[in-house]
Every structure is written in structure tokens, then in C-alpha cells.
Structure 1
């Protein structure tokens, strides 16, 4: 079990303050869970349900309603994904000031809700592109504020569990959104279903406002303007840059789940099913993937608080290696394909929870926003690079080569996971 004293504690980090319904660390282990933490997890659930609802309907909306081609969808999604990473980096300095975090988080959720729902009113492809880009930029900017807000209302000994609740809410929303989309399309149609995505997104904004109220009880920094800076030098000296090495390797192997669904459909079709049945089964397996990620996030959060981020992160990477090897060399039967989805869900649940907790533990409050912003940029850039490269390898060689390539990066993240361990030279500083 990791010794808490071995976690680097930078100078001038205030001890967590007691808040209503929550004892200080070490007094009552059951008292760490408060309304604010639940509010953040609920916000992640409703927000992800809202934008996953739209994401699942966007291909049909573009092709059937607006009569655009797959190239338009690829361009819109590619630009939007890139904007998420850049806006997360930009959101880091904005989250440095405690009094500003609540406004940025709430405003980001509201803007994401409005822009996403308005896609349902679009009549031209360029309007969809602008609204999607605006929604994803707002989603990125709000993320460091939300994550820093979460840490501010959580005892240090429970950072992992709090991160696990936030990640579990996000993954559970990825199950609810597509299911809700399927129900609404049959009742009211594609355009109207997209417009109704505003409802879960508004609930997300309300939930994050509840968390912001909880944060005001522990606000120890006086309100006021602070200089906006990425603080890259301080992040490097804190050891955060070193910790990002295994994270970068992991993200370079973190393929988009659409690639898993595509290959699973091919494998399941080869088993004798017609394409429609194979696609339906692959989507069901994807839902199981998100369910596994939800459970793994909660379990991973508890393990991180007991053992530290490194072993949980390494376990996530190891499980991913197994998942990708199953996808690379699986026979045309449903059992190994389902096992691959479940292992990938466990891997992402463990790894993302460990990554967020590592940033929270390693940095003081004034640098956490910057740290979460840089982490978000690394995650987005790595994911885009992983998917693009694997897609090329798939087209030129085979799916087996693409998944083996991704597995190699996951293995590298495990081998270099020691960088997530605290620097003993800094311990007790």
C-alpha cells in the first residue's frame, strides 16, 4: 500500500477545510462523500447523456436530413475533437482563480447545451459545423474548472474516489444517451430528438451549480483577478511533465471506440449474421463497454486512494493490451469480441481515474487548473493521433496490424508507469 507521506506535497498547499456534512481527512472515512461531489458526478452523467444523444444521431441527420456525405461528418468531428484539446489547455489558466471556477463550469455546461441542441434547428451543413465546434470548445474550457472544483471539495485522502464518481457519471451517460436517442427517434424524429437534448444538458448545468455552492464553503483564497498564465515552468518543476510520459503513451494507443465497433461488426458479420444484425450486436457490446467503464471507474477510485495512481494506471494499460490483442487476433465468434469490449471498458475506467488523481495529488490548488488543462490536451492529441495512425495501418495492411500497433503503445505506458510514482526527493517538501 502506498504511503501517503510519499506523495509529493508542494509548499503552501492549504489543508482541506471542513464543509457541511464532511469531516476532515482521517476523522470519518465515510464522510468524504458530499453533495458537491455527487453534483459533479450527476453533471457529468446528464451532460454526457445529452451530447451522446446528439452524437449518435448526427450521422443520420447529416446524411438523411441535410443530404451531406461522410466527408462532411469526418471533417466536423475531426475539427471538434481538436478544439476540445486546445480549449482544455486554454481553460487551465481560467480555472486557477477559485472564485472564477463556478462561473466557467456553469457557463460551459449551458453553452454546450444550447449549441448542441440548436443543431436540431440547422438547415445547412456549415451551421452544424459551427454549432458542433462551439459546443466542443465550451466543453473543453469547462473541464479544468470542473475538475479543479471537484478537488477543492474533496479531502485529499478521497481524491481517487471523487474522480471515480465523475468518470462513472460520464461513462453511464454514454449508455443513457444512445438509448434515449433510439427511443426518441421512433417517437418524434431525428431533428426533434436533437432539440430535446437540451433537457439533460440543462440538468447538468443545475447539478454543477450545486457543486459550486458546496465549493464556496471551502473557498480560502480571496476573490480577485489573477494573472492568466499556463505556468509551464512550474508544472515542469513539479514533476507533472515527467508524469505525462506514460499518459502520452497510453493516449497514443487509445483508439476511438468507433474503430472497435467497426471491427466488431466485421467479425460478427463473418460469423454468419447479416450486416444489420451484426451492427446491432456490436452496438450492444459498446453499451456493455461503457457499463464496464462505469464500474471500473468506481472501483479504480477506491484502489487509487489505497495504492496510489501508478498501479491502477498500469492495470488499465495491461488490460487494454489484452483487449487489443483480442480484437487483433479474435476468431469470428461473439465471445472474444465481447471480452475485448469489456476489457477495454475496464482499462479506460482505471486509467482515466488514475490520470486525474495523479494531477490532483501532485499539484497545489493554484496549478491544478493548468495541470488538468495540459492533461486534457495530451489526451485529445494522443487520441486523434492514435485513431488516424491506426486507420492508415488498417487501410494499408490489416486490422490486426492496427490493433497490434495500439497494443504496443499501451504496453509502453505500463513499462513507463513508474513516472506516475512520487519523486522521493520531493516527499515531505
Structure 2
């Protein structure tokens, strides 16, 4: 087996001469887009169950089918979006189009008069959202110096997590004032503002490199051969244990219900979920700073720490009791862990992927994340129902341990032994 080179030439135009000048207008624009887009995304997502079951009279199975199809399309779209994003000029058009299409299609869900219309619009919005993800991540690498990738991706993740906090709060106010359909329709406003923020970032980015005849091809093998294979393997193991946060909420609700009743237990579980998002928001930027400070292995080291923290959190969910203060600990641990992991994953890919296939690298990462999350939630849910919640969370913790072993191996791999863009 031939090892990947430890350095390469990168034709991406330099953005900043000094690594401490990381919060460029481009980075600020992309971070703002992530915040606004997540606010716009949370509104129709939170109200979709009510629209389907209460307004349109659909059974719960319809919601599961629509979400399953939408998630599957989003995962496939991320691979396609990665191929599109390999070309610097094309990735900018895809980013703008993806944000605009997602906002419009999601908001139109509020006008649907039948279940099939909801399904088509939701699937279209999710596909557009999937296509834009690799383009946004590759664009972020265009607007900041390689030595500041950690801080840039940490800032973007922090802003995205802030959107996950503000979105549900805005949803509550809109529903109380205007009702479900109007609330979903008005989600187009933050969505279109997110598209405008991406346009702002592009206008403050270096001139796109002109590449002639860039074929539209999903480049999985070149990405793996570029030194990212072991890292992607470790990421895949992590994602197979990265369960949806809804299962964490369910665990808290089940534990708190006997002593507090259904309504109070639900409210307390949602408050713990807010705490999870606050922890993720607080951890993202410091995790990026640490990745930059630690140098060539920084991103992988931060990723390792985040995975280890997830393992501890899942063990906590398996053994904890119904005491609220004790139950808060694994929520904080998991929130801090996801802030570290997401930042470190993006930083590592941006640092190690050759610029000509950076879009494909982010597309592969996003597809692994989507597929792994679906498998993790499905299998953990089945174990929960068939055996117990404790067994489900210990199963997830086992995947974290496998991911840790994979990261140890990845750090010793020649292609991961240097931050290629830093040379």
C-alpha cells in the first residue's frame, strides 16, 4: 500500500497572511447564514407533526414515511453536492441556490392541502439542504487561512447551534400569534436572509479559481486515497453511535415521568435538550481554537476528546437515575461533545483534503454523517424496545470506543500526520 504524501501544493488563493485574523467578512457571512438557516429550518420541522396530524388528519405513519424519504434524499444529495462543490465557481452557485431553494420549499409546506404535497415539498427542501452542505463547508475553507480553519469551523458550528436554540423559541411565538400555517410560511424570511448572507460571504471571498472542464463526478476513491481513508473510517464508527437527540429526550422523559407526571417530565426533558444545545454552542469555538493551537494533529486530537466525552455521556444515560441534577450531566457532556466533534470533523477534512477534491471530501463526510445517524437511531431504538434503554446506550458507547481505536490508527497514518494545507 502506498502512503499518501505528507504535503501538497495548494492553488487556493491566500486569504489572510496572519492566522490570528480569522474572523473575516466571509467567515462572518457564512456563520450568519448558518444561524439564520437553522432558525428557518427549525420552524417547519417543529410544526410538521402538527400540520400533518392535526391540520391534515394524517396518521403518524405518514410523518415517519415523509421524514424517512426526506432523510434518504438528503444523504444522497450530499454526495452529489460534494461533486458539484469540487469546482470553486460552481460551489458558490450551489451554495446560493441551495439556501434559496431550501427556504422556499420549506415555507411552501405551510400552503399544502394534502399529505402528498407535504411529502414532495419536504423531500425537495431536504434535498436542497443536502446539496448545499458540502458547498458551504468548502466555501468556508476558501475565505480563511488554513492555520485558522479550526476557529472558522468552530464559529460556523457555534452559529448553527445558536439557531437551534432561537428557532424553537421563535416557533412558539409565531404559532401563538398567527397559527401553524402562517408560522411555517414566515420561515421563508430567515431562510432568504441566510441566502443573502452567503452572497455577502462570496462577495468578500478571493476570486474563484478558474478550472476548465471539471467533470461532474462523485470522487470517493480519490478522497480515501488522499490520506482521509482511516479518518473517514473512524468517523463512520462514530456516526454509527451518534444517535438522534430525540432519543436523549425520550430517555429523560421516561426517567422523570414516575416522579413528576407526563406534562412536567416532558417540559423538564425539553429544558435539558436546551441545555444540550447551549453546551454545544459554548464548546464549538473553543474546540476550534484548540485545534488550531495544537498544530498538525490538533483537529484529530479534539475529535478524539469529543468522541471520548460521548462515550462517557452514553454510559451516563445508561446508568443514571431520575435525579434532575444528575441527569443534566450526560446532557451537558453530549452537548459539549457534539460541539467538539462537528468542529473537528470539518477542520480535519478542510486541512487534509486536496483543494481540487475538497468538495467531494465534504460530500463524503456529510453522507457518512447522514447514513450513520439513521442507522444509529434505528438500531438503538430497536434495542430499546426489544431489550432496554440501558442496553441501547451501552451499544452506542461501544461504537464510541471503536471510533476511538480508529482515531488512534488514523493519527499514525502518513496522510493524517500533517495539515496539508499548511505547507
Q: Normalising by structure 1, report the TM-score.
A: 0.93
Matches within 5 A, 1:216-227: 217-219=206-208, 221-222=209-210, 224-227=212-215
Cα deviation for residue 236 of structure 1 reads 2.3
Cα deviation for residue 33 of structure 1 reads 1.4
Q: Which segment is superposed worse, 102-111 or 63-72? A: 63-72
In the other structure, the counterpart of 1:64 is 54
Measure, in 2, the Cα distance between the counterparts of 1:392 and 1:356.
30
Other structure's SS at 1:68 match:
coil
Measure, in 1, the Cα distance between the counterparts of 2:226 and 2:319.
42
1:289 matches 2:289: no
Other structure's SS at 1:123 match:
coil
Measure, in 1, the Cα distance between the counterparts of 2:413 and 2:233.
15
Measure, in 1, the Cα distance between the counterparts of 2:323 and 2:58.
35
Cα deviation for residue 399 of structure 1 reads 0.7
Output one character per residue of 1:104-160: Cα deviation in whole Å (capped at 9) or x when no partner.
001000000001001100111111111110001000101111111100111010011
Is this contact kept in 2: 1:106–1:205, CA < 8 A? yes
Is this contact kept in 1: 2:307–2:404, CA < 8 A? yes
Is this contact kept in 2: 1:269–1:275, CA < 8 A? yes
1:251 matches 2:223: no
Measure, in 2, the Cα distance between the counterparts of 1:113 and 1:148.
21
Output one character per residue of 1:305-343: Cα deviation in whole Å (capped at 9) or x when no partner.
122112111111111112111211111111122111111
Tell me which of 359, 371, 382 is aligned to 1:369.
Answer: 359
Is this contact kept in 2: 1:91–1:373, CA < 8 A? yes
Deviation >3 Å, runs of 4+: 7-10, 422-429
Tell me which of 202, 222, 238 is aligned to 2:226.
Answer: 238
Measure, in 2, the Cα distance between the counterparts of 1:195 and 1:76.
19
Matches within 5 A, 1:98-247: 98-215=88-205, 217-219=206-208, 221-222=209-210, 224-247=212-235
Output one character per residue of 1:5-30: Cα deviation in whole Å (capped at 9) or x when no partner.
xx965433136424xxxx31xx3x43
Measure, in 2, the Cα distance between the counterparts of 1:239 and 1:11.
12
Measure, in 2, the Cα distance between the counterparts of 1:284 and 1:175.
11
Output one character per residue of 1:180-201: Cα deviation in whole Å (capped at 9) or x when no partner.
1111111111111111101110
In the other structure, the counterpart of 1:314 is 304
In the other structure, the counterpart of 1:413 is 403
In the other structure, the counterpart of 1:4 is none
In the other structure, the counterpart of 2:64 is 74
Measure, in 2, the Cα distance between the counterparts of 1:126 and 1:340.
39
Is this contact kept in 1: 2:302–2:340, CA < 8 A? yes
Other structure's SS at 1:416 match:
helix
Matches within 5 A, 1:351-366: 351-366=341-356
Tell me which of 383, 387, 391 is aligned to 1:401.
Answer: 391
Tell me which of 32, 37, 44 is aligned to 2:34.
Answer: 44
Measure, in 2, the Cα distance between the counterparts of 1:157 and 1:218.
20
Q: Which segment is superposed worse, 333-342 or 353-362? A: 333-342
Measure, in 1, the Cα distance between the counterparts of 2:12 and 2:70.
38
In the other structure, the counterpart of 1:12 is 9
Is this contact kept in 2: 1:325–1:404, CA < 8 A? yes
Provide the alpha-carbon RMSD of the alignment. Answer: 1.7
1:378 matches 2:368: yes
1:262 matches 2:288: no
Measure, in 2, the Cα distance between the counterparts of 1:312 and 1:52.
28
Is this contact kept in 2: 1:8–1:423, CA < 8 A? no
In the other structure, the counterpart of 1:324 is 314
Other structure's SS at 1:32 match:
coil
In the other structure, the counterpart of 1:276 is 263
Measure, in 2, the Cα distance between the counterparts of 1:420 and 1:347.
19
> How many residue pairs are counted as aligned between the two chains?
413
Q: Which segment is superposed worse, 392-401 or 414-423? A: 414-423
Is this contact kept in 1: 2:77–2:127, CA < 8 A? yes
